[in-house]
Chains A and B, each alone.
Chain A
Amino acid sequence: MDGLKVNITNNAMLIQTAFKNIIRGGKRTWLNVVVLSFVLVIMVAYNGLLDGWMEESRRDTIDWESGWSQLWHPKYDKYDIFTLQDAHGIIPKDIKRLIDNGVATPILVIQASIYPHGRMQNIVLKGINTEQNILKIPSEKIKTEDEDIPAIIGTRMAKSTDLKQGDRIMIRWRDKNGVFDSRQLLITHIFETKIGSVDSDQIWININDLYQMTGMGNEATYIVLNKEAKIKSDLSGWKYKSDYFLLSDVRAMEKAERVESIIIFIILLSLALLAVYDTQTLSIFRRQKEIGTYVALGMTPKKVTSLFTLEGTTYSVLAVLFAAIWGTPLLYLFAKTGLPMPEAYTNIGLPLGEAIYPVYKITSLIKTIILLIILSAIISYIPAQKIAKQNIVYALKGKIN
C-alpha cells in the first residue's frame, strides 16, 4: 500500500506539540524553568566574576609590575632571590636609547635588611626612575629633596612593618663590593595596589639614590618596556621576556580558578539537571498512556522520543528566556556594584581590589547556554528513549514500571 510510504509527522509539528505540552505543563514546567534559569544566572555571574577578576589582574599586573614586556639582566631570575647579588649590570646603549625615548624604565634590585621595632627583616630594595610613567608605582613621591632618602612602600608592607608616612627606618645593604652600609629612609608615601608582588617585603627608592648607595651607577636588574617599545627579542645580551611569560602567574591562577569553577558548575548543573531528569522520568512513567496513545495515533516510537527530548530541551530554552528577563538587570547591577572582597583576601597575595567587578563575555555566555541546552536534551532523551523501547501495548495500559 503506497499510503504507508507517506512520511507522517513533521518536525515543526513536533516542536509545536512539545512547546504546547511544556506551556500547559503548569507547575512542573515552571519548577524546571525556575531552577534551570537560576543555575544559568549563577553560572553567568560566576563566569563573569572570574573573567572580571582575571581581566583586572592582567591589567593591574601590566600596570604595576610587568609593563608590556621586560628585558632581564642575563643573570636575573625573578623566582630565585639568590641571583640578585649578581643580577645587575651597566645598561647597554641600545637599551639606554629606549629609556631616553621614554619607552622603557630601568629597575635596580638589591637585597637589604630593615629593623622595624628592633627586629631584623629582609626586604627587597628597588630603585626606580622618578620620572617614569610606565609603571603605576608612584615614583614621583621619591624625588630626593634633602638629606633623607625618600622611600615608598605599599599598604601590605606598611602593615607588616607598622610603618607610616613620615616614619624613618634604618636600612642595611651591601654595596657592589660586598661591604655593608646603612642609612635611614624616610617613608614619604604609602601606596595601595592589588599586586602584592610590588608591595610585600619591598621598598622603592629613587634609582639615583640606589646608585649612590651601592656604587652601581647606570646599572639595572631589569628593564620594563611599554607598548611602544616594540622589542620582541633579546637585546644586547639582555633577555627578552614577553607579556605572555610575565603574566604566567595570572594565567596559572586563572587555570586553577577555572578548575574550581568547573567543579562548582558540575555541582550546580547536576542539581538542576537532576530536577529535569526527575521530572522527565516521573512524567514519562506517569505519561506512559499518553506515549502509547501517540503511537496508536500514528507516531513512531522514535518521534515520541524526539518529542520528549524536545520537551526537555524546551525547558532549557525557556529557562534561558526567563533568566534573560530576571537575570539581565540583576547581572547588570552586579557588574556595577561588584562583589566586595574581604581584606584578608588581599593579604594572602591575591591580586584583588576592594571588589571584583564581573565582565560578561559573549563567548562565555554562549558556551554556558549551549552547555545547558545540550545537557537538558541528553537528560530528557535518556528516559524517553527507554520507554519508547518498551512494548507500546503495556504503555497504552499504563503497565510499564
Chain B
Amino acid sequence: MNTNKVITISQLTKDFPVGESYFRALENINLEIEEGEFTGFVGPSGSGKTTLLNIIGSLDKPTSGTAVILGNDVSKLNTKESAALRNLHIGFIFQSYNLLPIYTVFENVEFALLLQKKSKEERYKAVMESLEWVGLTDKKDSRPTQLSGGESQRVAIARAMVKHPTIVLADEPSANLDAENSHHILQTMAQLNKELNTTFIFATHDEKVMQYLQKIITLKDGRIESEYNK
C-alpha cells in the first residue's frame, strides 16, 4: 500500500434498482486521494457525490470496480470489517448533524470511543480535547435540542474527530447553516486538517465550502467532469 494514498478508486460504477430497471448513479469513476487532502466532490443534486462519499465511507458498495480505502477494498469487506473501518478510521459529518437526541454533547462525542472500548479516562480526555477544538467545552452537558445549528454541526465535527480518524467525510456540512456559521465550521475543519493531517472529503454544491477546498472534483451525471488542485 502506498502510504500517501488513502483512497484509490478504479472504474467504479454504482447502479440503483428502479422497478425492474436500474439507475446508474456513478459511472467509470477513477480517482486517488492522498493523506491530508482537503478535497471536495462538487456538482448539482443527483450528480453522484453523496453516493461516492457513501462508498468511500463503506456505507454502500460499488456495483462494479473497486474502492480501496486505507488498503481495504470495500466490496470485499464483511459487515464487521466495514463497521471496524468506519469506527477506527473514518469520521462522518452529515448535513442534518445526526446527533443522538437523548444524549448530551459529551455523550454524543464519546459514543465512537465507547464502541472502541476505550477506558473512561481516555474517553474523557479525548472528548474534552475534541470539544476544545470546536470551542464547545461549556456545552458538554447540553442536549442537541438546546444547541443552535452551528453548534450542532460543531458537535458533529468533534464527534468525527474524537477518534483521530484518517479520513473525515462531510456530506453537505454547511447546507443547514448561515454564512457565518458555515465559515466558522469550515475554518475549524481546515485548521484540524492542517494540525492533524486528517484527510477531509466533502460532498457539496455550496460556494462557501468550495472556497476552502484544496482540490475540487466535479461530478456530473455520475461521471467525473473535472479535477483540479487550487
Contacts and interface: CB of A to CB of B under 8 A. Distances in A.
A301 B86 CA distance: 13
A302 to B, nearest CB: 7
Q: Counting chain B CB atoms within 10 Å of each CB, which of A6, A20, A296 scores highest?
A: A296
A293 B98 contact: yes
B102 interface: yes
Contacts of A13: 114-115, 117
B85 A393 contact: no
B80 interface: yes
B59 interface: yes
A396 interface: yes
Contacts of A301: 79
A392 B98 CA distance: 13
Interface stretch (B70-78, B197-205, B221-229): B70-78
A370 interface: no
B101 interface: yes
Interface string B43-84: 000000000001001011000000000111000010111111
Contact of B71 (A1, A20, A292, A300): A1
Interface in A368-401: 391-393, 396
Given A4-B88, A25-B102, A296-B98, A391 B60 contact: yes
A292 to B, nearest CB: 7
B82 to A, nearest CB: 8
Nearest to B114: A13
29 contacts: A1-B70, A1-B71, A4-B77, A7-B80, A8-B84, A8-B87, A8-B115, A9-B83, A9-B115, A13-B117, A289-B96, A289-B98, A290-B100, A292-B98, A293-B98, A293-B99, A293-B100, A295-B86, A297-B111, A297-B115, A298-B86, A298-B88, A299-B83, A300-B79, A302-B79, A303-B83, A392-B59, A393-B54, A396-B94
B50 to A, nearest CB: 8
B86 A297 contact: yes
Contacts of B101: 290
Interface of B: 54, 57, 59-60, 70-72, 77, 79-89, 92, 94, 96, 98-103, 111-112, 114-117, 159
A295 B111 CA distance: 12
A5 B102 contact: no
A298 B115 contact: yes
Interface range on chain A (Cβ under 8 Å from partner): 20 to 34
B83 A8 contact: yes
B117 A10 contact: yes
Contacts of B83: 8-9, 295, 298-300, 303
A118 interface: no
B57 A298 contact: no
A178 interface: no
Of A8, A13, A17, A391, the most chain B CB neighbours within 10 A belong to A8
A393 B117 contact: no
B89 to A, nearest CB: 7
A336 interface: no
Q: What are the 5 A-B residue pairs with the smallest beta carbon separation, nearest first?
A: A298-B87, A24-B102, A4-B84, A293-B98, A300-B83
Nearest to B87: A298
Contacts of B81: 4-5
A6 B84 contact: yes
Interface string A296-315: 11111111000000000000
Nearest to B159: A297
Contacts of B94: 293, 296, 396
Query: Which of A7, A289, A302 counts the most B-chain CB atoms under 10 A from its CB?
Result: A289
A3 interface: yes
A4 B72 contact: yes
A354 B71 CA distance: 80
A113 interface: no
A24 B144 CA distance: 14
A133 interface: no
A21 interface: yes
A13 B159 CA distance: 18
A13 to B, nearest CB: 5
B89 A3 contact: yes
